[in-house]
Amino acid sequence: MQLFFWFSIILLSFASFAYISIPIFLRFNATAQYRFFSSRLPILLGAACLGLGSIGLYAYIGNSAFLSSPQNAVIDSKYVAIIEQIEAHLAQNPEDAEGWQVVAPTYLSLNQPKKAFEAFANAIKFGNSNGPNWLGLGKSNLIINKGVFGPMTKVAFTKAQEKSPDDIETMYFYATMLQNNGELAEAKSAINAFIASHEFSAEQMQPLTQILDTLNQAEANQ
């Protein structure tokens, strides 16, 4: 692969040189050599520098590996060992809600949404029906569905809001879900009520105020 890129860059460089220089040679007049040196020689030198410079630039920073598929994140071996221990424990104790609750966010952070969804669902199923688990369930489902808010995300984010009414991240996903489902008045009301009853900083509230601005603009355009 690297040889192919070298061949390609050299070929393109000399093609650019030929494209600029050949017309000049074809128009060369032996009786007016001084004109060649006074006007055309700088152009030829510039074309040569362009070609050689591109080769040198590729040699300095070029890397065909940039075009290869991204690799999975490298996980520290100690974390892998911990995850394996928890998974082994859950295989023997599949109804351990605490175990599922511990491993679920880890799966989500490692971009394994299907495993995360199953783990959050089990944590809820076996006793830990709390806000963070419902929020994680909704976020996992949202990733699995490539950003599409479906029935499951509506249930999950609604439950998360009921369980954690003071959590700003939960409110953000809840309001975003309402907005995407076309429940604009409900989303606006929920955000306004949250802002009025909580004392977060303006920076922390910014994601919610941005949604609110969008909702107000949509309302003004109606």
Average pLDDT, the chain: 80
| Nearest C-alpha neighbor of 139 from the set 125, 168, 160 | 160
- C-alpha 137/C-alpha 154 separation (Å) is 11
- C-alpha 209/C-alpha 68 separation (Å) is 40
User: Which of 59-73, 110-124, 169-183, 202-216 has the lowest average pLDDT?
Assistant: 59-73
Q: Where are the domains of the chain?
A: 2-67, 77-221
Three-point CA angle 107, 109, 112, nearest 5°: 45
If one compares 188 and 11, the residue with the highest pLDDT of the two is 188
- C-alpha 119/C-alpha 100 separation (Å) is 5
Mean pLDDT of 107-118: 96
Three-point CA angle 63, 66, 69, nearest 5°: 140
Whether the per-residue pLDDT at 111 is higher than 90: the answer is yes
CB 208 within 8 A of CB 161: no
CATH of domain 77-221: 1.25.40.10
If one compares 106 and 219, the residue with the highest pLDDT of the two is 106
Whether the per-residue pLDDT at 180 is higher than 70: the answer is yes
Per-residue pLDDT band for 169 (boundaries 50, 70, 90) equals: very high
Q: How many CB atoms lie within 10 A of CB 124?
A: 21
Whether the per-residue pLDDT at 3 is higher than 50: the answer is no
Predicted local confidence at residue 142, as pLDDT = 97
Three-point CA angle 34, 40, 41, nearest 5°: 85
Distances (CA, A) of 65 to 10, 12, 62, 70, 203: 18, 20, 9, 9, 39
Whether the per-residue pLDDT at 145 is higher than 50: the answer is yes
If one compares 193 and 58, the residue with the highest pLDDT of the two is 193
User: Which of 16-25, 124-133, 151-160 has the lowest average pLDDT?
Assistant: 16-25
- C-alpha 209/C-alpha 91 separation (Å) is 44
| Nearest C-alpha neighbor of 114 from the set 89, 148, 139 | 139
**C-alpha dihedral sign at 150, 155, 159, 161:** positive
User: Which of 22-36, 71-85, 94-108 has the lowest average pLDDT?
Assistant: 22-36
Q: Which of 15-29, 61-75, 89-103 has the highest mean pLDDT?
A: 89-103
Predicted local confidence at residue 57, as pLDDT = 45
- C-alpha 195/C-alpha 206 separation (Å) is 11
**What token pair was written down for 121?**
């669902």
Whether the per-residue pLDDT at 139 is higher than 60: the answer is yes
Whether the per-residue pLDDT at 134 is higher than 80: the answer is yes
Mean pLDDT of 125-154: 97
Per-residue pLDDT band for 67 (boundaries 50, 70, 90) equals: very low
If one compares 12 and 36, the residue with the highest pLDDT of the two is 12
Q: How many CB atoms lie within 10 A of CB 101?
A: 21
